Structures are given as structure tokens and as C-alpha cells.
Amino acid sequence: MQEDIESRPPYLWGFATFAVIFVIYCFTLSPTTAFWDTSEYIAAAKILGIPHPPGNPLFTLMAHVWGFLPLAANYAKRINYFAAVTSAAGAGLWFMIAERWLRPILAARLPRYGAAFAGIFASAMAWTVWNQSTVNEKVYTVSLFSIALIIWCVVRWADQPVGERRDRYLVVAIYLLALTSTNHMMGVLGAPVVGLYVLFTDWRVVLRPRVVAAVVVVAAIGLSLNYVYLPMRAAQHPAINEGEPVCASVVQAVAQQCPALNDVLNRAQYGKPPVTQRMSPFSAQLSMYWQYWSWQWARDWGAARSLATGLFTAFAALGLVVLIRRNRRAGLSAAALVFTLIFLLIYYLNFRYGFSYHPEDKSITGDMREVRERDYFFIASFAFVGVLIAAGFAAAIEGIREWLGDRGTEKSRWIGASSVLALGLIPVIGNHVTAPRNHETLASDFAVDMLQSVAPYGILITAGDNDTFPLWFAQEVLGVRRDVTLANLSLMNTDWHLRQLHRRVTPAFDPAGAAPMWRNMAGDSGASPLGAAAPAAPVRPTTPALTETDGWLDSLPEASAPIKDSIQVGNMFVQFHTDVISRSDIAAFLLIRDNLGKRPIYFSLSDGDYPDKTLGLGGYLVEQGMVRQLMPSLVKPGGSIHTSPYFIYIDADKTRSLLFDVYHTEAAAKDRPSGWVDVPSVSILDLYEIIYSGSVPMFQEIGDSAHAAQAQRISDRIAKSIRQ
């Protein structure tokens, strides 16, 4: 046994595991960005920006360097490769951990390798792991790699002869724990295994002065990205600078006397209550995890997926029991990971009811639910469980071989017993329709379409993440319409977003990269639909979108009492129709006041009826494609302006040009055999259906039957694409 423990680890098999999984991820890789946080992270990697809290400096730096590799002409695809390689590399490490832990369970080398591979392959093809590994939606694939690498370091540490050379593995593990926390705190969830291995292997190591000193130093170095890099980079004001964690000095940052940095690292922006104040019952949160668990093993199989769920649950449970019985140190470490990655994480995250949790329960209202599915938060548990499944497979092989007794030859008995490993193929078969991302480009196309809807030097007011992050990506990565100023209603409730709107210098309008309707225009001040003269050419603004000083903007209250009287801006009257006026409402008004008649102002259709009901601006808005332009006085039908079935007015000429000459209808209306899988983001795809179906009566009214029929066909295809 001693000789087997000290034998060289199966690095070649580990690399083969990585290679097989990486190839599958590559074949199913997203060719561009996706919805939710993908665009923000890809753009932040490109410009060394600071994404939303906790800032993720390790990811940003690693992905930025990775982005220089000539892996694809498309920058977004290069960063998606980064997600694939880190996740697959983590799987390769999990294979070696599993193989080491399985030795007391299955002594035969090749069957043990097979069991380790089959278990890890199954978890790598689990729906959430696969789906998150083919596009850089989050930073969690780096965490997957970090957790696996940390555990592999302590496993190797425990297998080495006692001495200073051995302790280097432990020092590296501590360094990685500190470093991975600057990517995301998920990586720190591997810490209990480090503690258990130290306790069961050589607890006296914590008393050795040299080791303790080295651990303190490497931990400080690892944490330095949070306390040195973040405030330094924030002070340089990159285009994406969420939270703006600027500090007066490094000493202030390290001493945690920098409020902005503390808010970013502690995620204060999200305002979550203490964990003792449950957002939904803990029993419901456990049930939500089970819902996500049931997606992992054969989500494409509909009702039959419960069979796969039961099968892999049984193998994982068997594997945990066998590990605890045969390999106490490994078994308790595995049990600690199960507790930490599942139960402790569920309690800590404290989610509301899931987006699709018990949809028939009418007592659970929309504001009691999460805005999207949260399965990705548990990706580490879905990846790690492959080790338990591998142990279950190993136990099954050993049990079947013993049951066969003396029947057949020894080789045939091993082959027969190892046939159980074919079950490891179920996830790749059962998830191959909905987990891949290789055929979806809508997020990128939507971003370009939205930006091209806006006149030169326009201000576009958006609603939240899904209608804003792709636009950041289009501007910072693709270089599309950087002259457009983006103001996010959700982020305008923060002081830092308002400061950045004040600080932003508007880039020059590039006619070559604009839609034909803007490229060939003489000029557009936003007044031409009313008959006012247009300037000779678009004029680059020299004043900021928000003219107030940073200090004045910082003093804006988070909420104010309602204003009953209307407020006149030129020939326009703004009327707040809300019981409480938020900071973002005030900011939207200031954007109008400071820019009306100077820059074109638009509201995204994704804002819904916000400008109508909250600001009372319905009579001043003209729809053109996916945006509504704010006019300086009340709009009257005439010329190109017609009434709209969804909103009040629509510009027929501009809408026709956008719908049929600019927008990416092939991306919106493509055939999707399983419908739109990510239901919470379907509202973006709905925008396309709304504008095409809503334009049909307008085209019919003006006698343009050809475009009416074309718009109807596109609308029908989009509807089918959503609901198949």
C-alpha cells in the first residue's frame, strides 16, 4: 500500500480527461457573448475594467492576458475558451483526486481509472457545469479550477515524506485560498478540506514557525489584488468601474478604512439582509436546490429525467458512504465538501423563491421570487459530485466482480463489471440539446440592433443588466456606436454611476460603423419629426450628459417625497406619477433637463411604461424600432409619425429602415427545437416579437402591405422560436 501511495500520480490520464472534456466544450462553445453577466465580464476583461461587486480582479487580469492568445478572431470567443479551459482543467484535477481517493476501494488500476474518468466526465457534462463552461457568463469556472487545485495540493502534501519539501504543497494551497478569494469567495469553499487534511495527516505543521510565517506572507500576497489592484485601477476610471472602489492610499485600503472598497468587497450594493432573516423558508431553499439538482443529469429528457436524477443520486450517495468506510480522511473531506458546497451555501446565499419554483403556487408573488434561476451558484457541488459518482462506480465494479465469482476469465469479469461505467454517458446524451451554446448569437446582435436604433450622440436610458451589459460589450469590445451614452435606471440609484455619467467624454461618432439611416443623414437634433430645422451635421457634445458636479450628485437622496406639480423643461412638462421619487427618477429628469434639444434622448423599449407612468412623458415619445425618442414638445401624427398599437406614436420611416435593413432578424427568429431555454431572459426576445407584430397594423394603415406581411412572418417565427 505504501508503494502505491507514493507512486506517480496518473498525470497522463488526468490530461486525457481534461482534453476530452475540453474538446466537447469547444465544439459546443458560444461564438460570442450571452445575456446576464457575460457581456460585462468579457468587456471588463478587454479593458481591465471592474465588474459588479466583488470586483473579481483575479478573473479580470487572467482573462485579459488570455485574451491576447490568437485562439479566435472573435474576442468574446477567446474569453469563452477561457471558461472552457479552466472548467476542463478543474475536471482533470478532480480526476486525479478521485483516482487517489478510490485506491482503497478499487485496487485494480485500469478499472479504477475508468471509474474516476466516468464519474468526472458525468459531472463535467452536468447541465449547469456544461452550460457555464461554454460561455464566460460568470467567474465560477476559475473557482472550480481553484477548488480542485487546492484540494489536489493538500492530497499531494499528505502523500509526501515528512520534511520541508512536503510543506511547500501546503503553503501553495494556502496561497491559492487567498488568491482565489480575489476572484470570488466560492473558491474559499475548499478550505474545510485543507483543515481536515492537516488534522488527520500532521496537525503539528501549524506549530512550525517557518511554515506559519510562509503562510502569512503568501496569504497577504494573494489578497493584495483586492486591496492594492482594485483601488489603483478604479482611480484610473475605466469605462466599466462598478462601485468605483477608489481609496486615498493602500494603507487605508488594507486597514479597511475605505468605504467604497469595503462596499464592493462586501457586496453592499445588493442590500441583502442577515442570514438569520430568511428570504424564503430554508425548507423551500433546500427544495429549490433539489430542483436544480434534477436538471443536471438529463434535462432534455422531460419527465424521464427523474430516472437519471435518481440513478446519479444513488451512485453519489453510495460513493460517499463507501469513501467514509474505506478511506476515512478522504471520506470526511468529501462529506465536508457536500456540507459546505450544498447545505452551508444554501443557508448563506439565502435566496428568495426560485424563478420557476412551484409556479402554480399563487401565494408566491413576483417580488418574492429571484429574477432568474440561481443554479449556477451551486456549480461547484455539481462538479465535485463527480468524485462521489466515481466512488459509487468503483464500488459497483468491485461488487459486480465479486458477485461473478469464478465465472469466466479474470479479464472477462473485469470487463463485465466495468460495463457499469457506460452510465457515465447519460449526461452528455441527456443534455446535448439545451446545454450547448454554439448556435446562439442573439445577445450580441441585440446589442448592435439597440445601439444602431439611436441617432448620433444620443443618450439611451436602459432598465437593468440584460438590456445594458450587452451594450457595454458592443461598445467596448466590438467598438459599435461608442458615441451613444448609456444611462442605466437601476444603476442610477447609485452615486458612482451618476459620477461616471458626469465624467464621461463622448467619443466621436463614426459614420462608417453606423446604420445607413444615420450614416447618410445631414443631421438630427431630435426635432425634425416636428418640422424644426436640422443642423448641417451631428455635432459632438462638449458638455457632460449630467452637468452637475460630483459632490452635488453624491448629495442626491435615495428617495424623496412625491412632487405633485408638473415641471416645465422648454416646451415639455414632466409629471412624476409615483408615491416616492427615487434617485434614478431624479437622474432621469436631470438627463432630460440638461440635454433636451442638445442631444437626442431615448428610452429603451425594455424600460416598459416607465417614461409614461413615472415621468408622464407618453405624449412626447415616438417609437422607432426598439427605442422611443423623446421629442421637445407634444407629438402630433403626420408625415412619418403614426399611432402605435403598443405605445402612442411610431415613426414609420425609421422603423421600416431598422426592422428590415438593420436588425438581425435571423438571430431573433431562428429555429430553437427546445424553445428559449433561459426563460427569465426571454423578455429581450419578446421585444423583437413586440416591434415586428406591432408594426403590422401601422404598415397596413399606410398601404405598405409587403412590409406588413414580412413583419408578420418574422413575428410568427419569433413566437414559434420562443415557445416550441
With a cut of 50, say whether residue 16 has pLDDT above it.
yes
C-alpha cell at 271: 442590500
What pLDDT score was predicted for residue 647?
Answer: 79
CA distance 91 to 95: 6
Q: State if pTM tops 0.85.
A: yes
Q: Does the pLDDT value for residue 103 go beyond 70?
A: yes
**Which backbone phi and psi does 630 adopt, to 5 degrees?**
-90, 125
Residue 529: band (very low, low, confident or very high) from pLDDT cuts 50, 70, 90: very low
Strands (E), 555-703: 559-560, 567-569, 572-574, 581-582, 601-604, 621-624, 627-630, 641-643, 649-651
Residue 536 has pLDDT above 80, yes or no: no
Give the torsion sign (CA, 230, 231, 232, 234). Answer: positive
Q: Tell me, what's the pLDDT at 522?
A: 46
Q: How far is CA 640 from CA 567, 623, 654, 699, 712, in A?
A: 29, 11, 8, 11, 21
* For residues 299-318, average pLDDT: 96
Q: Would the pLDDT of 526 be above 60?
A: no
pLDDT band at 2 (very low <50, low <70, confident <90, very high): very low
Does residue 162 have a pLDDT over 90?
no
Question: What is the DSSP pairing of strand 601-604 with strand 459-462?
Answer: parallel
User: What is the predicted pLDDT for the residue at 256?
Assistant: 86
Residue 674 has a pLDDT of: 86
pLDDT band with cut points at 50, 70 and 90 for residue 110: very high
The answer to whether residue 59 scores a pLDDT higher than 50 is yes
Confidence of residue 389 (pLDDT cuts 50, 70, 90): very high
SS3 assignment for 60-90: HHHHHHHCCCCCCCCHHHHHHHHHHHHHHHH
Beta sheet of 649-651, edge-to-edge order: 485-488, 459-462, 601-604, 627-630, 621-624, 649-651, 641-643
Residue 624 phi, psi (nearest 5): -140, 105
- Cα 676 to its chain centre, rounded Å, is 17
Of 255 and 701, the one with more pLDDT? 701
Angle, helices 209-224/164-180, rounded to nearest 10 degrees: 30
Output the pLDDT for position 531: 42
Does the pLDDT of residue 620 top 70, yes or no? yes
Report the Cα 635 to chain-centroid distance in Å: 40
Average pLDDT score over residue span 679-706: 94
Secondary structure class of 559 (helix, strand, coil): strand
> Looking at residues 513-539, what average pLDDT do you find?
63
Cα–Cα dist 654/77, whole Å: 33
Q: Output the pLDDT for position 3.
A: 40
To the nearest whole number, what is the mean pLDDT of the chain?
93
| Cis omega (within 30 of 0) for bond into 516 | no
Compute the average pLDDT of residues 105-126: 97
Determine the average pLDDT of the residues in 283-288: 97
C-alpha span between 610 and 577 (Å, rounded): 10
Integer Cα distance of 189 and 187 in angstroms: 5
Mean pLDDT of 331-339: 97
Instruction: Over range 110-127, report the average pLDDT.
Output: 98
Q: Cα–Cα distance between 649 and 669 in angstroms, integer?
A: 25
pLDDT, tens digit (0-9, with 9 covering 90-100), for 561-577: 988 889 999 999 999 99
So what's the pLDDT on residue 533?
47
Q: How far apart are CA 85 and CA 18, in angstroms?
A: 8
In the chain, % of residues over pLDDT 70: 97
**pLDDT value at 5 more than 60:** no
pLDDT band of residue 532 (cuts 50, 70, 90) is: very low
Q: Are the beta carbons of 575 and 517 closer than 8 angstroms? A: no
Q: How confident is the model at residue 724 (pLDDT cuts 50, 70, 90)?
A: low
3-state secondary structure of 227: helix
Residue 254's pLDDT band (cuts 50, 70, 90): confident
Q: Please calculate the CA angle 661-664-669 and round it to the nearest 5 degrees.
A: 120
C-alpha cell, 168:
511547500
The confidence band for 410, taking pLDDT boundaries of 50, 70 and 90, is confident
Gap between the Cα atoms of 570 and 593, Å rounded: 9
Mean pLDDT to the nearest integer, 106-133 = 97
Average pLDDT over residues 503-509: 95
pLDDT score of 350 more than 70: yes
Q: How confident is the model at residue 1 (pLDDT cuts 50, 70, 90)?
A: very low
C-alpha cell at position 262: 469595503
Taking alpha carbons only, the member of 560, 578, 563 closest to residue 614 is 578
Q: What is the pLDDT of residues 579-594, one digit of tens each?
A: 999 999 999 999 999 9
Question: Is the pLDDT assigned to residue 295 strictly greater than 70?
Answer: yes
